[in-house]
Structure formats: C-alpha cells, structure tokens
Structure 1
Amino acid sequence: MADLAPKGFPGIAAGARHVEQAGLDSVSVSDFIMGNGAPALEATVALSAAAAVTTRVDLRFSLLVLPLRNIAWTAAQIGTLQHLSGNRVILGVGSGGAPGTPFWQAVGAAAEGRNTRLVRSLELLPGLLAGEETTLPDGTALTLAPAVPVPPVLVGGNSDNAIRRAARHADGWLPSVVSPATVARGVAKLREAAEEAGRPAPSTTVWLHAGLGDEESVRSARAAFEKSLVDMYGLSPEEAPLVPIGGSPKEAAERFAAYAEAGADHLDLLVDGGDWERQVELIAEARALL
C-alpha cells in the first residue's frame, strides 16, 4: 500500500470486510518498510487486523522480505496468524524490499547474501511451522508449538533465478507488473525447472496494478504507472500499456482472461486511483464475468 489514505479507503479492518463482502478471494499486504518517512504498515500486524474481522478471505503476503527478518521470530508470527485465522495464510516471500534503505540498516540486515538467506529460510520454515525440532544456522535446536499447516509459499521475482527458486522450494511463483506474454514465457521456464527438480509445477500468481473506470484520478494514475514501467522497469512503450488492468468491468475481465490463458492461476491487484471501495466493487463485477 503506497498511500495509507487513498481516496475512499476505509482502513484495514473495514477494507478487509468490504473485500470479503464483495466476493473476492483475498486481501494482501506488501512488506516494504523503508524507514525514510514513506508510509508503510508492518505486514503481519496488518494482516492480523484483517483476520480479526473476516472469516473467508485468504490473508496474503505479497510479499514478505525474509532476508530482512529473523527466521525463528518470523515463523512464530506466521504460525500465530495461521492458527488464529483458521489457516488462511498465503505466504509470498522474496529477497527485495529496497535493501540498503534506513530500515534495513537499522535491523542489521545486509544486502549481500540476501538470496542465500532467502533459500535457507525457505528450507527451515516448513519444519518450524509444522512443530518439528529444527536446527537453526547457529546450532540452536528449536521446536515451536502449536504446530500449524504450512501455508502455500510463493516466491516473488521476475528473474530466471527467482523462477528456479520457486520451482525448487515453493508452491507458487509471484511475478509482478508483467504482461501476459512475459507470464507465458515465465510459466514455461517454471514448468521446465520444476520437472528438472522432480517437483510438481508450482502455481502462478501475478501482482498487478488495477484502476477501472474513466475518472480523472484513474487515468492520471494509469499514465504515471505506465511511465514508471518504462523508466524504472525497462518495459517498452508498446508493452507498458498491456500491464495495468483498466477500462470497464468487461474490458478488465478480458484482461483477466488473457493472463489466465498465459498460465496465471491468480491475480493479486493493487488498486491504483479512483474511489477505493468502488474499485473493489468494479473488480468484483469484472471477475463475475469470467
């Protein structure tokens, strides 16, 4: 959530209830605390607030930056949320989150070696959550209780290395701000890597921006986002307009279908522009057309 007070956003609790009442599948929170004054909420606490007022929707980390965190403490937090929510956690993880920013420095997390730490955390986390005695890198033997079902784990990132990590260590791949064509290429690589690892092909969830309708705030947010895709992500001016979801619910449904045809199993949408509650309703209308 780039802005803690987007137009019409009623807060975490009321927003989560609205998503559930609209018939959508999940609420999600990103783990991007910069420490430079930019607004951000700690993801586990935010999802706990959502869990307390909902009964059905999944509680999705999109994504949790594991190399920033102590794995024992993280396992305790995730296990607690899984236990209290009735096993509704979807755990997206990654190694990004702006390493080198003041928050990383303040918690003593080095940017170097973060992918290695991510893989090690992925290896340790299932046993910790399942209540198994687990030996940590420093030699400590740790058993957490109560044991909980290990939530589905999705590895974020668009690179070939991220795809290989998802294929070897996770239940899903979580690319972000990519076109259907890029998803199709990534899914092919994912299936090949999973076959080489002797594992089932992971699912694919695509994280995208969405702003439906034609009001000025939606148009301006879309234009700014498309520019950032070219300037920051290196997309071509031709490909950038193919990434954000917009238009009418019918047009958005067609975009949803294009991602599904490319191999996406789920879409994780960040509302960008317009009235937040109305955007949720429009997204639900689009989904109902599939």
Structure 2
Amino acid sequence: MDIGVFLPTGQAQWTPAGDPRDLIGFARRAEQSGFASLFVNDSLLSPRIEPLTMLAAVAAVTDRIGLGTGALLPVLRRPVLVAQTLASVDLLSGGRLTVAVGAGFPGRFGRPLHAWSQVPWERRFARLDETVGLWRALWTGASSFHGEFHSFDALPPATAPFRPGGPPIWLGGATPAALARTGRHYDGWLPYPPDPADYAAGLSAVRTAATEADRDPDAVTPALFVNVRIDRSRAAAREVMDAYARANYGLPLDEVQQIQAFALGTPAEVAATLQSYAAAGARHVVARLGALDLPAQREQLERLAGLGAGVGV
C-alpha cells in the first residue's frame, strides 16, 4: 500500500506565524521521506493556496513523488482552460499528476461554490462527467465536442500532456451513483468512508460496475482519503484533531467522524487502522495530517514516515 500526504495549503494550517512558501520545503521533505504522493485539496469556502498553482510550484522542486488533487472541483473553472492547465502540470512534472475530482456536497459545503461560479447546482454529476470527457477529448486531439453542457464546433489546439490521453482521473464519492460512475468512467476511486467495511463494499461495487462496462476492474486504482493524527495516546490525538476539525469545518470531531475516515492515536493504533483499510482493498492512502501550524504539520509528517514499511512508506 502506497502512502501519500496532503500539503497543508489551507490558511488555517499555516497562520498566524507561518509562511506559505514553507510548503515548498514541506513537499521536498515528503519526497525525501519516501512518501508516494503529495495531494492538494480545493475549495472557496476557506482561504488556501490555489491547488493547481501549488502543484506547478511543487513540480519544479521534486523529481519522483506523485502529485495529485483531492478533490479538484471542476465547477470552479472554465473547462477548456483547466484542461490546458492540467496538461501543463503533467508536462512540468514529467507525468506525475493524478487528478481526483468531485462535484461538491449539498448544503453549505457545496451550493455556495456553484453560486460563486455561476454554474447551476442541478445535474452537477452529469456536468462533472461531461467536463472530464471534454478534457480527455482535448488531450487526444479532438477538433470538436458536443455534449449536454459543453458544445464546441471547433476546439483550439490543445497542450498535449506528458502521457498519451492525459493524467489518470479519479472520482471522490461513495454514494451508489458515484460507485457506478467510478467503475464506468474513472481511473481511480478516492473516498473517505469512516468504516473499512464500507470501503470494501464500495470497492466491490466499483469493480462490478467496471466489469459490466467491459473495463478491467483492476485498472481502477483503489485509494483512500484519511485524516491522521499520531500522538502519545488516542485521547491526546482526539483533542488536537477536534481543534483541527473545528478550524477547518466549524464542526466538532464527533460530527466529522460520521462521514470521514480517521486514524488517530499512537503509532501502533494508526498503523492498525491503515492496515484495516489495506485489508479492505485500499492500495493508495492519502493522509491529511491533523495539525494546526506548519511546524506541527512537519512533526506529523515525520511521525507518519516513522511508521515505516508496516504501512507502506
């Protein structure tokens, strides 16, 4: 099982005394420590470094580590331009980019993004799938594209990605519809179910949908987004992660744990949780580190690397 980490690009993770330019050193350290990937997330709900800008900067100072979005929200961007941006990052990184995408969530975590982007909330999943289809068409040299939401009689010459056909595209989400769409159309799956049993059931549904679509089910990468805090005890880890959840979501840990995966506690306890997801089928875990400033983020990075080969690093 490969282990990656999220870059702490949110302002709440590097203020008040931190300098966001230190994220470059964080990325270098993650590569030196043997992590498989560096991911960035995407939102307008809280101040953060824009994800594709961050990945372009990181691509220039790393050589081997994979780069990814988790999850990019295509609704925030014009689709033809973002296809060029993604292809450019893939080129600059030498083909190290993975693009996990999402359609947003109901309520205060999703609808405002559509309002600010002046894109209707309705049929957001169909719009997402079609946008990905447009990207792929551009990356393979299509001269036109006609869909329900995007129609172009003539497309501009597109920047060709490093890899033919473009970077792999994963889908975030674990509803029955998302599982089916992952199996039919996407190259990987990046959910965060709080129970490994739910992960195993979801992965089975993804693979069934892939088989029914005449795709190789093993070609769909089974990944996992998980919140990690390594501390002297589970209680100490929960205390810090509760503060983290309140800073990022305005919600207590008990509520966020109902919808997201967490690995909290001593090194042995965190390793056991990650191994339970590995047993459920996860092959690429991306850890969001529970810490509220850059020095503490770096400490958590070192602790996770210190778990060693037992969890894949």
Partner of 1:132: 142
Identity of aligned residues (%): 29
Does the 8 Å contact 1:177/1:209 carry over to 2? no
Task: Map 1:32-51; keep pairs closer than 5 Å.
Answer: 32-34=43-45, 38-51=46-59
Using the TM superposition, give the Cα deviation of residue 233 of structure 1 relative to its aligned residue in structure 2, in angstroms.
Answer: 6.7
Using the TM superposition, give the Cα deviation of residue 276 of structure 1 relative to its aligned residue in structure 2, in angstroms.
Answer: 1.0
Question: Which of 14, 20, 28 matches 1:5?
Answer: 14
Work out the CA distance in 1 between the residues paired with 2:262 and 2:307. Answer: 14
Task: Map 1:1-290; keep pairs closer than 5 Å.
Answer: 1-2=9-10, 3-5=12-14, 11-34=22-45, 38-96=46-104, 98-101=109-112, 103-136=113-146, 137-142=150-155, 143-149=157-163, 150-201=166-217, 202-214=220-232, 218-223=237-242, 225=245, 228=252, 230-231=254-255, 234=258, 243-273=261-291, 275-290=296-311
Using the TM superposition, give the Cα deviation of residue 108 of structure 1 relative to its aligned residue in structure 2, in angstroms.
Answer: 1.3
Work out the CA distance in 1 between the residues paired with 2:91 and 2:74. Answer: 20
Using the TM superposition, give the Cα deviation of residue 123 of structure 1 relative to its aligned residue in structure 2, in angstroms.
Answer: 1.6
Does the 8 Å contact 1:19/1:280 carry over to 2? yes
Letter in 1 for 2:205: K
User: Which string of whole-angstrom CA distances, capped at 9 and with x for unpartnered residues, describes residues 44-72 of structure 1?
Assistant: 00111111111111111001112332210
Using the TM superposition, give the Cα deviation of residue 280 of structure 1 relative to its aligned residue in structure 2, in angstroms.
Answer: 0.8
Work out the CA distance in 2 between the residues paired with 1:109 and 1:42. Answer: 19
Cα 1:17–1:68 shift into 2, 3 Å: same
Using the TM superposition, give the Cα deviation of residue 170 of structure 1 relative to its aligned residue in structure 2, in angstroms.
Answer: 0.6
Query: What SS does the corresponding residue of 1:23 show, helix, strand or coil?
Result: coil
Does the 8 Å contact 1:155/1:173 carry over to 2? yes
Query: What SS does the corresponding residue of 1:289 show, helix, strand or coil?
Result: helix
Letter in 2 for 1:127: A
Does the 8 Å contact 1:176/1:208 carry over to 2? yes
Work out the CA distance in 1 between the residues paired with 2:121 and 2:301. Answer: 36
Query: What SS does the corresponding residue of 1:157 show, helix, strand or coil?
Result: coil
Letter in 1 for 2:238: R
Q: TM-score, normalised by structure 2?
A: 0.81
Using the TM superposition, give the Cα deviation of residue 169 of structure 1 relative to its aligned residue in structure 2, in angstroms.
Answer: 0.8
Query: What SS does the corresponding residue of 2:291 show, helix, strand or coil?
Result: coil
The answer for unaligned runs of 5 or more in structure 2 is 1-8
Letter in 1 for 2:241: R
Query: What SS does the corresponding residue of 1:91 show, helix, strand or coil?
Result: strand
The answer for unaligned runs of 5 or more in structure 1 is none
Using the TM superposition, give the Cα deviation of residue 245 of structure 1 relative to its aligned residue in structure 2, in angstroms.
Answer: 1.3
Query: What SS does the corresponding residue of 2:287 show, helix, strand or coil?
Result: strand
Letter in 2 for 1:32: S
Letter in 1 for 2:116: A
Query: What SS does the corresponding residue of 1:20 show, helix, strand or coil?
Result: helix
Does the 8 Å contact 1:29/1:60 carry over to 2? yes
User: Which string of whole-angstrom CA distances, capped at 9 and with x for unpartnered residues, describes residues 194-242 of structure 1?
Assistant: 111111111211101001012887431334659746535746xxxx8xx
User: Which string of whole-angstrom CA distances, capped at 9 and with x for unpartnered residues, describes residues 74-128 of structure 1?
Assistant: 1010000001110110110110163332x53233122122111101012222221
User: Which string of whole-angstrom CA distances, capped at 9 and with x for unpartnered residues, describes residues 130-152 of structure 1?
Assistant: 33334253323223033432111
Cα 1:48–1:265 shift into 2, 3 Å: same
Does the 8 Å contact 1:122/1:169 carry over to 2? no
Cα 1:147–1:247 shift into 2, 3 Å: closer
Count of residues in correspondence between the two structures: 280
Structure 1 segments of 4+ aligned residues over 6 angstroms from their partners: 6-10
Using the TM superposition, give the Cα deviation of residue 256 of structure 1 relative to its aligned residue in structure 2, in angstroms.
Answer: 1.8
